[in-house]
Chain A
Amino acid sequence: MSNWIPLWLHKLGSPPTFYRFAGTLQPWAMTLALLLGAIALYGGLVLAPADYQQGDAYRIIFIHVPSAEMSMFIYAVMGVAAFIALVWRIKLAEVVAMESAPIGAAFTFITLVTGSLWGKPMWGTWWTWDARLTSELVLLFLYLGVIGLYHAFEDRRQGARAAAFLAIIGIINVPIVHFSVNWWNTLHQGSTINIFGQSKMSTDMLWPLLTMMLATKFYYAASLFRRVRTDLLALEGGKDWVRRIAEDEAKS
């Protein structure tokens, strides 16, 4: 193992340490997510004015854009964790990568459906095969592929390695989603320009959006911590630290 990984990082990578660490942070992350989410919803649904062109329909932006950003952000985290898992065989990295996939898939699904609900009144169609929409759909299939491959193997760790490989290959799609609106002439970008005219988004619309983006980050952390903790218990079932936790839980 290389020396450049700091000692504390090494320690944090050990399942019992991370289990405790994640258990301490998880409630705080969830509390922040709920608090910031509530503030963002109030700002976006109540305080922000209606758009001069889209009326109140634009308010879908406050969940659509944060979800879309999370769909790419989580994929990037999953890709990096998958890379670490393949190169250094760190069990925690495997678990982080595999437990990120369902959360990422959830946000991608939300992005697609809320986008569709926004597209119908504004573009006049639920769906169109343009670059942004198609690459986001491919992102959903990549997530589902990773989840499916992971569960296709009887041995969890073998499945994780195969799925990690797919996750790394699929990372090529993330910049495609992000830059699709610049690289191709798409319906998606045209609409975005029309909403705000030539000027940037006004502050009373921008702050709820940014707050919601922060809230979804904390939500991801909370959800990931909860999932990783369970996975560690299942993977390390025979070990002493898990045995102690199981005994404590049985007593309470």
Chain B
Amino acid sequence: MSSLQTFLAMGGYAAYVWPAYALFFIVLIADTVAPRLRRRRVLRELSARLARQQARQDRAGGNSISTSPTP
């Protein structure tokens, strides 16, 4: 048996050791990816809101605060 095979066999405990390590990485990768997606979504919503506000101001001719308080 090559040394890599010996390593992967984990002395016969491969079925327990490798799933444990796989789970460790899968959970932590999910924990890293989920907030990244959320950040992107939050920023998209923010810029959409800013664009809407800008458009409203342009329509109202610059004095939107006093004339159109509707959201």
Contact surface of A with B, Cβ cutoff 8 Å: 45-46, 50, 55-57, 59-60, 63-64, 67, 102-103, 106, 109-110, 113-114, 117-118, 120-121, 219, 223, 226-227, 229-230, 233-234, 237, 242-243, 245-247, 249-250
Contact = CB atoms under 8 A, between A and B. Distances in A.
Contacts of B43: 233, 245-246, 249-250
A75 to B, nearest CB: 16
Contact of B11 (A57, A106, A227, A229): A57
A97 B21 CA distance: 28
Interface residues of B, number: 27
A207 B36 CA distance: 32
Nearest to A60: B20
A202 B43 CA distance: 50
A230 B16 contact: no
Contact of A109 (B20, B27, B32): B27
Nearest 7 CB-CB pairings of A with B: A56-B11, A57-B13, A246-B46, A55-B11, A56-B10, A230-B39, A250-B47
B60 interface: no
Contacts of B27: 106, 109-110
B11 to A, nearest CB: 4
Contacts of A55: 11-13
Interface string B3-42: 0000100111100110111011001101110011011001
Contacts of A242: 46
A53 to B, nearest CB: 12
B55 interface: no
Give the interface SS of chain B, mostly helix, strand, loop or mixed.
helix
B47 A57 contact: no
A114 B20 contact: yes
30 contacts: A45-B7, A50-B11, A55-B11, A55-B12, A56-B11, A59-B17, A63-B21, A63-B24, A106-B31, A110-B23, A110-B24, A113-B20, A114-B20, A114-B24, A117-B19, A117-B23, A120-B16, A219-B28, A223-B31, A223-B32, A223-B35, A226-B32, A227-B35, A230-B38, A237-B49, A245-B43, A246-B43, A246-B46, A249-B47, A250-B50
B17 to A, nearest CB: 5
B16 to A, nearest CB: 5
A243 B50 contact: yes
